[in-house]
Amino acid sequence: MTDALERYLADNADRRIASYLEFLRIPSISAQPQYAASVREAAEWLAGQLRSIGVEHVEVAETGGHPVVYGDWLHAPDAPTAVVYGHYDVQPVDPIELWETAPFEPFVRGDRMIGRGSADDKGQIHIHLRATEALLATTGALPINLKFVFEGEEESSSVHLDAWLEANKERLTADLAVISDTGFFEGNRPAVTVGLRGICYIQVDVTGTAVDLHSGQFGGAVQNPANALAQIIAALKGPDGRIRVPGFYDDVAALTETDRAAFAALPFDEEAYRTDLGLPALVGEAGYSTLERRGGRPTLDVNGLWGGFEGDGAKTIIPAHAHAKISCRLVPDQDPGTIYELLRAFILEVAPPGCTVSVQFLGGGRPSLTPIDHPATRAAARAIEATFGVAPVYIREGGSIPVCASFETILGLPVVLLGFTPPDDNAHAPNESMSLANHETAIRTVAAYWSELAALPR
Ligand code: BES
Ligand code: ZN
């Protein structure tokens, strides 16, 4: 790192925390319609930031849903061009009572920035803003060309993004895409993610009578929607952790010996992982290790389950209806649309009689593997090692970033997943946090990465 850059970063340390806090104060929850104005406010805030640091052609672009923020800096004629992606929307805050302070009143404690979006993903967008600012302020230029694409719907399945990418193909020509929306490995070990799972998200609604019934008067005569839903859910997965939906595994690319060796080589303390989670045991599909089950195998999980009486004490009813939200994490080469059809057919087939069952698709995203041997991936590893002082491990992650596959298929770009959050960031949960040490060093990593990319043979 140049002295000038270090000096600039040191001189602006307080401003940097202030702008991070400012960004986090905007409640940009994409999934809940009542926050739509705040999502737009976050987009406008970002656009203002990009303009103020010298990024050009900044635009809050309409998508039919929440806007995409675009901006570019294209004055490095002989250097490569990277599309830099992040998402400025965040997850809902429930259960609110488990937050130490309000989710959108962020604060710093020790090494942590605490608040919704501090890690996923506003904190990582902020890293890019401040890295770009520092480079432009100190050198008047960037080592490579950058096209920023900041999305506002990632946490609700990026519904409108593919169409926007299609419509903006010309404008988005580049050599690679860099996504900063992943994190480090266990023990906060620097990592480059090289695989993400896809997702298929459904809702199952089971309906009986128009209103709840007296369970004494009617119990024994009618189907109970909650029992029926429990039967359906129980049919989906066996005690061996295998998903019982016919055809579910048909398109799963088996883990190769190389894949399995890579999982086995990671410095993973399974016992510490278990005790940190406070669990009596780790469970999953038979025949696979914990890391394989998390990063390389598909899953089926109930995300939410409701129906009937949930208050204190006893109320004797047969509920009128019961509901479940269920998601499957998918691996190459599973397709969310195909999995949805298989799930739907199986659920309707195993549904017990005497009730109405409906299945709806709530969202999906394709799985992806990024090229581990690509020069741009190796360059990212060098930038991480140069700034964090440790060579990163390469990991396949269990989470999903739908745009990753879209960058590959729609724009034809190789993707580098360059993310910096610590593994205990509580993403999607109460008290989400980001390590400020990671955030600070990552600003240097991003700057170093652009230089590494500029130095690659063209
Ligand atoms: N940042 C995550 C993706 C992620 C999670 C990457 C864990 C690596 C490790 C992203 O914002 C996210 O949560 N995505 C959703 C996508 C879904 C709503 C389509 C997810 O994975 O649940
Ligand atoms: Zn994210």
Give me ligand 1 centre to Cα 418, in Å.
14
DSSP string, 363-431: EEE--EE--TTSHHHHHHHHHHHHHHSSPPEEEE-SS--HHHHHHHHTS---EEE---B-TTS-TTSTT
pLDDT above 80 for 20: yes
Q: Is 124 in the pocket of ligand 1 (CB under 6 A)?
A: no
Q: What is the overall mean pLDDT for the chain?
A: 97
Give me ligand 1 centre to Cα 378, in Å.
24
pLDDT digits (tens, 9 = 90+) for 87-138: 999 999 999 999 999 999 999 999 999 999 999 999 999 999 999 999 999 9
C-beta neighbour count of 265 within 10 angstroms? 10
Q: Is 199 in the pocket of ligand 1 (CB under 6 A)?
A: yes
pLDDT digits (tens, 9 = 90+) for 41-51: 999 999 999 99
pLDDT digits (tens, 9 = 90+) for 4-16: 999 999 999 999 9
Residue whose Cα lies nearest atom 9 of ligand 1: it is: 399
Q: What is the pLDDT of residue 197?
A: 98
Q: What percent of the chain has pLDDT over 90?
A: 99
pLDDT digits (tens, 9 = 90+) for 287-333: 999 999 999 999 999 999 999 999 999 999 999 999 999 999 999 99
Q: Is 425 in the pocket of ligand 1 (CB under 6 A)?
A: no
Give me ligand 1 centre to Cα 140, in Å.
35
Q: What is the pLDDT of residue 32?
A: 96
Nearest ligand to the C-alpha atom of residue 183:
1
When pLDDT is cut at 50, 70 and 90, the band that residue 186 belongs to is very high
DSSP string, 258-314: HHHHHHHHS---HHHHHHHHT-S----STTS-HHHHHHTS-EEEEEEEEES--SSS-
Q: What is the pLDDT of residue 309?
A: 98
Give me ligand 2 centre to Cα 119, in Å.
8
pLDDT above 90 for 2: no
Q: What is the pLDDT of residue 6?
A: 98
pLDDT digits (tens, 9 = 90+) for 270-291: 999 999 999 999 999 999 999 9
Residue 257 three-state SS: helix
Nearest ligand to the C-alpha atom of residue 330:
1
When pLDDT is cut at 50, 70 and 90, the band that residue 458 belongs to is confident
Residues in the chain: 458
Give me ligand 1 centre to Cα 354, in Å.
38
C-beta neighbour count of 154 within 10 angstroms? 26
Give the residue among 64, 68, 77, 27 at the shortest CA–CA distance from 50: 68
Q: How far apart are CA 228 and CA 444, in angstroms?
A: 55
Cis peptide leading into 95, omega within 30 of 0? yes
pLDDT digits (tens, 9 = 90+) for 65-89: 999 999 999 999 999 999 999 999 9
pLDDT above 70 for 356: yes
Q: What is the pLDDT of residue 95?
A: 95
Burial code (b: 16+ CB inside 10 Å, e: under 16) for 160-174 equals bbeebbeebeebbeb
Q: Is 89 in the pocket of ligand 1 (CB under 6 A)?
A: no
Our mutation pick for probing the ligand 1 site, out of 90, 116, 154, 325, counting the most ligand atoms within 8 A of Cβ, is 154
Give me ligand 1 centre to Cα 43, in Å.
20
Domains and CATH numbers, the chain: 3-196+367-454 (3.40.630.10), 198-252+298-363 (3.30.70.360)
Strand blocks (E) in 115-162: 145-151
pLDDT digits (tens, 9 = 90+) for 247-274: 999 999 999 999 999 999 999 999 999 9
When pLDDT is cut at 50, 70 and 90, the band that residue 157 belongs to is confident
Q: How far apart are CA 193 and CA 69, in angstroms?
A: 25
pLDDT digits (tens, 9 = 90+) for 118-129: 999 999 999 999
Q: Is 180 in the pocket of ligand 1 (CB under 6 A)?
A: no
Q: What is the pLDDT of residue 51?
A: 98
Q: What is the pLDDT of residue 451?
A: 98
pLDDT, average across residues 423-448: 98
pLDDT, average across residues 22-29: 98
Contact 380, 374 (CB under 8 A): no
Nearest ligand to the C-alpha atom of residue 362:
1
Q: Which ligand 1 atom is at minimum distance from the Cα of 157? A: 19
Q: Is 397 in the pocket of ligand 1 (CB under 6 A)?
A: yes
When pLDDT is cut at 50, 70 and 90, the band that residue 1 belongs to is low
